């Protein structure tokens, strides 16, 4: 009997918060990593996982990218000096070329900037920002059917492989 291996670790940093609904509601065309400008105790609150991305989106305004609709709960141990508005807009840090490209694509096509996840990389908070196109209801059903068909195909291949061994 072969020795058991530990489960494989996922590549990259572990997300603190994810927007799972975004992959259901949108077709993800491209992703980009961006830094987030945070104030006061927001970093500690995000590290505790007290962040919600459900209705969040990003927008290019005046040559800058702003993240709207992200709720970061106030840090429990703040004595009032580090308290900030939990639903404020936060600036995203990107290269000038990336900002220009995202601005052009969202202006020319019906695309949306959607945050997929927030994570820490080398001690800095990052957001995985997706350039996405909204799905219609029938597109969602088609995506679910394709995912189920792929799952069934993999199961059949796995059982066939077990039978041959």
pTM: 0.75
Q: Any idea what DSSP says for residue 122?
A: T
- C-alpha closest to that of 61 among 106, 114, 111, 110: 106
pLDDT in tens, 138-164: 667 888 888 889 899 999 888 888 888
How far is the C-alpha of 149 from the C-alpha of 165, rounded, in Å?
25
For 135, phi and psi rounded to 5 degrees? Answer: -95, 145
pLDDT in tens, 33-91: 999 999 888 999 999 999 999 899 999 999 999 999 999 998 888 877 767 788 899 99
What does the domain layout of the chain look like in residue ranges? 15-134, 136-165
Tokens of 116: 């997929």
Our CA angle for 83, 86, 87, nearest 5°, is: 150
- C-alpha closest to that of 125 among 101, 150, 92: 92
Which fold is adopted by the domain 15-134?
Small Protein B; Chain: A; (2.40.280)
- C-alpha closest to that of 59 among 103, 98, 95, 28: 103
């Amino acid at each position: 009997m072969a020795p058991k291996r530990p489960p494989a670790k996922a590549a990259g940093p572990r997300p603190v918060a994810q927007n799972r609904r975004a992959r259901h509601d949108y077709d993800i065309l491209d992703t980009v990593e961006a830094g987030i400008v945070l104030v006061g105790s927001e970093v500690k609150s995000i590290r505790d996982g007290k962040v919600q991305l459900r209705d969040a989106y990003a927008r290019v305004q005046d040559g800058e990218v702003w993240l709207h609709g992200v709720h970061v709960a106030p840090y429990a141990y703040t004595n009032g000096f580090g308290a900030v508005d939990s639903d404020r807009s936060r600036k995203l840090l990107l290269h000038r070329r990336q900002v220009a490209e995202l601005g052009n694509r969202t202006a020319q096509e019906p695309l949306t900037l959607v945050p997929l996840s927030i994570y820490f990389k080398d001690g800095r908070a990052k957001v995985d920002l997706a350039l996405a196109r909204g799905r219609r209801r029938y597109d969602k059903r088609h995506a679910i059917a394709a995912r189920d068909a792929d799952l069934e195909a993999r199961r059949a291949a796995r059982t066939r492989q077990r039978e041959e061994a």
